[in-house]
A and B are shown apart, each in its own frame.
Chain A
Amino acid sequence: MTHIPEFHAAKWDEPIIMEMGRPGGRGQHFPPPEKEIVSKVGSGLIPVSMARHDRPELPEITEFEAQRHYLHLSQMTLGMMGISLFGTCTMKYNSKTAEYATLRPELAEVHPYQHPDTLQGVLEIIHDFDGILRSLSGMDQFIFQAGGGADAAYSMACLARAYWKDRGLLGQRTEMVTSVQAHPCNPATAAAAGFKVVNLPLEESGYPSLDALKAAVSERTALIMINNPDDMGIYNPQIKEWVRVAKGAGALCFYDHANFNGVMGKLSARELGFDACMFMLHKTFGAPKAGGGPAVGAFGCSDELAAYLPTPVVVKSGDKYILDEDRPKSAGKIREYWGNIPQVVKAYAWARAMGAEGIKLAADISVVANNYMDKRLSEIPGIEISNPDINVRRMEMTRWSLGPIAAETGVGTGDFANRMADYGIDPWWMSHEPWIVAEPFTPEAGELWSKEDIDIWIDVIAKICDEARTDPNMVKSAPHNQPIAQVKGDAFEDSKKWAMTWRAWKRKHGGPDAGQDTI
């Protein structure tokens, strides 16, 4: 066993910001309006009935106090500063040079309604990156409007609506077919767009059967949305037949490339027959995740579907880059403007820094490292791989189960996650709903983490297994060296206790000036 480094999280006992400061304290001044302005327009410019008379209950603190408070909060956030093998999210290094480039005023202080002649630099980057994604996928056009992977799935659902409406068949093509193992965003966005969701169950092979698909698709199917490999690390070898069957029924086929890391440069969505696909730039392409966005779901499709894309689309016209708004059959906008452009620039930077060979090497490393991790995890008593009867090498991540050790000790995956933080290891990803294996966890090594990091991570898991056997209550009451103890979760479902603002907390817990305005 390698040496497990000692760790203790920062703890500052930081008050809620609403409780900080002093009457009259200031963190920012604004200049008063210039004299000529006051003499020209006077004061009292807001109509009386619409003017604010109460003082918003905000903190009154100095600039330094705000800085110090939020620095402390950042220090009380683990945020991948230890080791994070967080499966399904493909943890990567987020280039600082890309971060700093996007903070330059040439991007940060740019307005999307500026004349395109003044936007040629950013449009060139978007256009070049579109070309990179086209090569990786075989698709004909990418857009970046979607604010995350789920929003890209929603883009697909909206595009399918426009496609079938254009054919006068939207009243008939009402179903979306997917796997029960697909990310929740696929069924959820399709349902939000108005489609009925048909979920295919998994078979012994680890994926839904071709026969189940054949039985599910019909003249009612608008589209299928599928990922491959799935989060178990299992690749569906019948995916080409799937696409053939679905297209035979007239359905559109969308490849959710959430798990692209192990197949980057190896597969082409278009060559497999798909009409459209999605890449998550905030995971596979090295843009930061930022605790939940701003993110980008890059959405690509064939020329046939490109007519239905949300606008604008960045295209090159002669030697200029322009924003093409002229798509009369467009599905409409799924979000304002053209997307989280700084994240697109960071993803472009990642692709440029990696190059074709680097991207293929990263896929190799991801899959080899995951197999190395599988080998070592399989040697730890009490944990078992998902689908143990499927004896193939998994892709870039594998779903594991703590079922046996949980049965033996009563310590489950949530307890492990809490305890991991005591070692400076980010709590692992368990599983999306539904949980198909007992007490699941899903590690993913990717290309960032060293073999030494992976070894430490596995040693920590082995150590927690030992702890579960020798001192289960210690594990179940973990963490023990984090900024706070376990929270009392009953309040989250109790309207008398939950408090989404400090106002609400004071009202419910008898603070001095409590009281929700009632109407």
Chain B
Amino acid sequence: MESDARAHPWMANSAPGVLEAMLVEIGAVSVAEVFQQIPEDHFRKTPLDLPPALTSEIDLRRDLVSKLKKNKSCEDYLSFLGAGVWQHHVPAVVDEIVGRTEFTTNVWGSYQSDHGRNQAWFEFSSQLGALLNLDVVQLPVYSWGCAIGHSMRMASRITGRTKVLVPALSDPERLSVIETYCKPVEMEGHIEIVSVNADPTSGRFDLKDLAKKLGDDVAAVYFENPAYLGTIETGAADIARMARAAGAETIVGVDPCSLGVIIAPGDYCADIVTGPVQPLGVHMHCGGGAGGFIASRDEERYVHAYNGFLVSVVETQKPKQLGFGLACPHQNSYGMRENGNDWTGNSTYLWAIAGAVYMSLLGPEGFRELGNLIVSRARYAAKLLDEIPGLKIVWPDTTFKEFVVNFDHTGKSVAEINDALRARGIFGGKDISSENSALGQSALYCVTEIHTADDIRLLVDTLKVVVQ
């Protein structure tokens, strides 16, 4: 190191003389000598071309913040975007806890040195289990779509069958992930994905079509509650019954923030339940708040089909003391490599801690109030929008927090309307016009607890101007 160089704030051994002292200790004459394993012609020839170093925190902060400030956030704009990432209230205590350095830096210690983290993980599963009325909840995987993909593979392993039924009105983003998980037709273990028609009058499963497609080759029936386009699947128990009769697993995707007011999926006989963790106290993070849970009853055929981390409470060597650790560790890819269930690795476990804190803050009454507030405000928004000439709410009566607004009779495209809204400080709903031709020019609007009646009226007033 040159004598006038400054030690880097993140590298203790960059202080003057330290590297040289270690070289002396190991009997090496130069740094180059410790790289003796690498053949000379392997070293890169192209010089590194990186932007200049910002070693001062002042400069680094300026660079990050000045760039990020070029974004417009959903606090700057009034946003009605949802469709898998939703703007919910994140209690400040959640932010404090997930920001704790012990949790953010943690890797993998012993069941004793990680005790606090493991308890927080267990409390995530326990509280979510209480919302779902299910006894087994795995730590979250990368996303909801990934959770569905793993669930379908679980169902295929459990049943030995290779076909899954999904709603025709599926989120294309999640569906693309699911397709990736189900493998192309050329591959061994390919899982065929078949769409079940929607009842055009309700958006719900067409049970006649389901009956037609539900044969003894079907591993699983998948549906969401609320569905991608916002409707509550009132036929849930019928679907589960039909699936069971055909020997197929029922996989359901649920929005956990609805479970204070909507029946727990364990109560309508769902076998495997998935859902997003982001509504449970995780910011949108530009999509980086994604995470997906998988849950089931406590039966060995399910437990032995999971791909990831199952945290179990157990006794310790000290009487009456409880600790935590991983159940069935030998079925995942860490232990079994290519013979494990799918694969696992780093996932989204910090969001399990966020979820644990969030659920403990809300409690049973908080979830009830939250669900009631969301459905009330969303229905209110839908009713007011439906009254605007040219606008129509598709399936208005059984929505939770999202609903489809059709703009066909305005003579304008959703893209044009959203551009005009954006110019007025509003992010309109997700444009779904290209996803399903039957829905015409439509957008998926999302209203949550963060939208007040005033916010909703501002949207309505602005839309009235925009669609004229």
Do A and B truly interact?
Answer: yes
Question: Which residues B210-262 have CB closer than 8 A to chain A?
Answer: 225, 232-234, 236-237, 259-262
Q: Are A491 and B60 in contact (CB under 8 A)?
A: no
A104 on interface, CB distance cutoff 8 Å:
yes
On whether the beta carbons of B105 and A94 are closer than 8 Å, the reply is yes
Check B48–A421 contact: CB distance below 8 A.
Answer: no
A345–B384 CA distance with the chains assembled, in angstroms: 40
User: For the complex, is A495 an interface residue (Cβ under 8 Å from B)?
Assistant: yes
Q: How far is the CB of A158 from chain B (nearest CB, A)?
A: 6
User: In the complex where A54-B264, A147-B347 touch, is A110 in contact with B286 (Cβ < 8 A)?
Assistant: yes
Hey, which chain A residues are within 8 Å of B323, CB to CB?
Answer: 484-485, 487
* Residues of B close to A75: CB separation below 8 A: 102, 116
In the bound complex, residues from chain B placing their C-beta under 8 Å from that of A9 are 112-113
Q: A234 at interface (Cβ–Cβ under 8 A)?
A: yes
- Given contact pairs A46-B375, A154-B343, A293 touches B349 in the complex (Cβ within 8 A): yes
A57: Cβ under 8 A from any B Cβ: yes
A487 to chain B, nearest CB (A): 4
Taking CB atoms, residues of chain A closer than 8 Å to B468 are none
A73 touches which of B117, B266, B328 (Cβ 8 Å): B117
Given contacts A97-B57, A109-B73, A339-B287, contact A485 B112 (CB under 8 A): yes
Q: A109-B73, A333-B145, A503-B130 are in contact. Are A352 and B37 (CB under 8 A)?
A: no
Given B105, B127, B383, which contacts A18 in the complex, CB threshold below 8 Å?
B127
Tell me whether A27 and B366 are in contact in the complex, defined as CB-CB below 8 angstroms, given that A41-B379, A492-B329 are known contacts.
Answer: yes
In angstroms, Cα B262 to Cα A51, docked, is 5
**CB distance B369 to A29 under 8 Å?**
yes
Please tell me if B436 contacts chain A, counting CB pairs below 8 Å. Answer: no
Say yes or no for A221: interface residue by CB 8 A criterion: no
> Would you call B16 an interface residue if the criterion is a C-beta within 8 Å of the partner chain's C-beta atoms?
no
The digit string for A74-117, where 1 denotes a CB below 8 A from any CB of B, is 11111111001010010111110111011111111111111101
List A1-41 residues whose CB lies under 8 Å from chain B: 9, 14, 16-18, 21, 24-34, 36-38, 40-41
When the two chains form their complex, are residues A115 and B68 in contact, meaning their CB atoms are under 8 A apart?
A: no
B363 to A18, Cβ gap below 8 A?
no
Taken residue by residue from 362 to 397, chain B's Cβ proximity to chain A (1 for < 8 Å, 0 otherwise) reads as: 111111111111011101100110000000000000
Cβ proximity bits B412-432 to A, threshold 8 Å, 1 near / 0 not:
000000110010000100100
CB distance from A508 to the nearest CB of B (A): 9
A215 lies within 8 A of chain B by Cβ: no
B314 touches A489 (CB 8 A): yes
Check: A304 CB closer than 8 A to any chain B CB.
no
Within 8 A of B (CB), among A276-310: 282, 286, 288-295
Which residues of A lie under 8 Å from residue B76 when comparing CB positions? Answer: 105
Cβ-defined partner of A38 (8 Å) among B73, B85, B376, B427:
B376
Interface residues of A in 25-68 (CB under 8 A from B): 25-34, 36-38, 40-41, 43, 45-47, 49-61, 63, 66-67
Let me know if B43 and A375 touch, CB within 8 A.
no
Q: CA separation between A409 and B357, bound complex, in Å?
A: 44
User: Which of A425-433, A458-466, A467-475 forms part of the interface with chain B?
Assistant: A425-433
B64 to chain A, nearest CB (A): 4
Q: Tell me if A71 and B346 are in contact (CB < 8 A).
A: no
Question: Could you tell me the distance between the alpha carbons of A80 and B136 in the complex, rounded to whole angstroms?
Answer: 30
In the complex, chain B residues whose CB is within 8 Å of the CB of A498: 303, 310, 312, 314, 327-328
Are A336 and B318 in contact, with the CB atoms below 8 A?
no
Q: How far is the CA of A409 from the CA of B130 in the complex (A)?
A: 47
Number of residues of chain B lying within 8 A (CB) of chain A: 220
Residues A197 and B327 in contact in the complex (CB < 8 Å), given A107-B68, A340-B288: no
Known: A9-B113, A120-B70, A421-B109. A185 touches B343 (CB 8 A): yes
Cα A51 to Cα B87 with chains together (Å): 24
Q: How far is the CB of B227 from chain A (nearest CB, A)?
A: 12
The answer, yes or no, to whether A341 is at the interface (CB within 8 Å) is yes
CB of B288 to closest CB in A, whole Å: 4
Which one of A244-252, A365-373, A380-388, A400-408 is at the B interface? Answer: A365-373
Q: A79-B117, A369-B22, A482-B113 are in contact. Are A86 and B108 (CB under 8 A)?
A: yes
**B347 and A292 contact, CB distance less than 8 A:** yes
Give the contact stretch, choosing among B158-166, B175-183, B402-410.
B175-183
Q: B173: CB under 8 A from chain A? A: yes
Given contacts A97-B57, A482-B115, contact A60 B142 (CB under 8 A): no
B107 touches A491 (CB 8 A): no
CA distance A289 to B350 in the complex (A): 9
* B187 contacts A170, C-beta separation under 8 Å: yes
Q: Which residues of B contact A74 (CB under 8 A)?
A: 97, 100, 102-103, 116-117
Query: Is A25 touching B142 in the complex (CB atoms < 8 A)?
Result: no
Instruction: Assess whether A30 is in contact with B369, with CB atoms less than 8 Å apart.
Output: yes
Asked whether any CB of chain A lies closer than 8 Å to the CB of B192, the reply is no
Cβ A267 vs Cβ B64 within 8 A: no
Write the chain B residue with the least CB distance to A452: B12
CB distance from A287 to the nearest CB of B (A): 10
Contact of B110 with A418 in the complex, beta carbons under 8 Å: yes
A150, A193, A263, A271: the one contacting B183 at CB < 8 Å is A193
Give A172-197 interface residues, CB cut-off 8 Å to B.
Answer: 174, 184-185, 187-197
Is the pair A239, B42 in contact by a Cβ cutoff of 8 Å? yes
Closest to B79 in A: A111
A437 at the interface (CB under 8 A from B): no
Interface mask (B12-54 → A, CB under 8 Å = 1, otherwise 0): 1110001101110110100101111111011111101111111
Q: How far is the CA of A364 from the CA of B32 in the complex (A)?
A: 8
Q: Does the CB pair B53–A356 fall under 8 Å?
A: yes
Closest-CB distance, A116 to chain B (whole angstroms): 11
A364 CB, nearest partner CB in chain B, Å? 5
Assess the B290–A337 pair: CB atoms within 8 A.
yes
Asked whether, in the complex, the Cβ of B12 is within 8 Å of the Cβ of A188, the reply is no
The reply on A255 being an interface residue by CB < 8 A is no
The 8 Å CB contact of B313, one of A76, A154, A502, A516, is A502
> A174 CA to B266 CA in the complex, in Å?
40
Using Cβ atoms and an 8 Å threshold, which residues of chain A touch B233?
50
Judge whether B383 and A40 touch: CB under 8 Å: yes
Pick from B153, B311, B348, B361: contact of A147, CB below 8 A.
Answer: B348
Which residues of A lie under 8 Å from residue B369 when comparing CB positions? 29-30, 32
On chain A, the residues within 8 Å of B145 by CB distance are 333, 335-336
Judge whether B363 and A369 touch: CB under 8 Å.
no
Contact check: which of B131, B190, B288, B298 meets A516 at CB < 8 Å? B298
* Docked pose: A193 CA to B346 CA in angstroms: 18
Q: A433–B360 contact, CB under 8 A?
A: no
Contacts of A502 in B (CB 8 A): 122-123, 126, 129-130, 313
Cα distance, A333 to B182, chains bound together (Å): 12
Mind listing 24 A-B residue pairs with CB under 8 Å?
A: A17-B356, A56-B131, A63-B361, A80-B106, A98-B64, A108-B284, A111-B87, A111-B286, A114-B81, A118-B422, A266-B35, A267-B44, A271-B45, A271-B46, A288-B104, A288-B105, A291-B106, A354-B10, A355-B50, A371-B22, A427-B108, A433-B335, A495-B298, A502-B130
Leading 10 A-B pairs by shortest Cβ distance: A355-B53, A337-B287, A194-B187, A150-B345, A76-B116, A121-B70, A188-B333, A450-B12, A79-B102, A147-B142
Additional pairs, 4, CB under 8 Å, beyond known A59-B360, A339-B288 = A486-B111, A501-B129, A503-B126, A516-B135
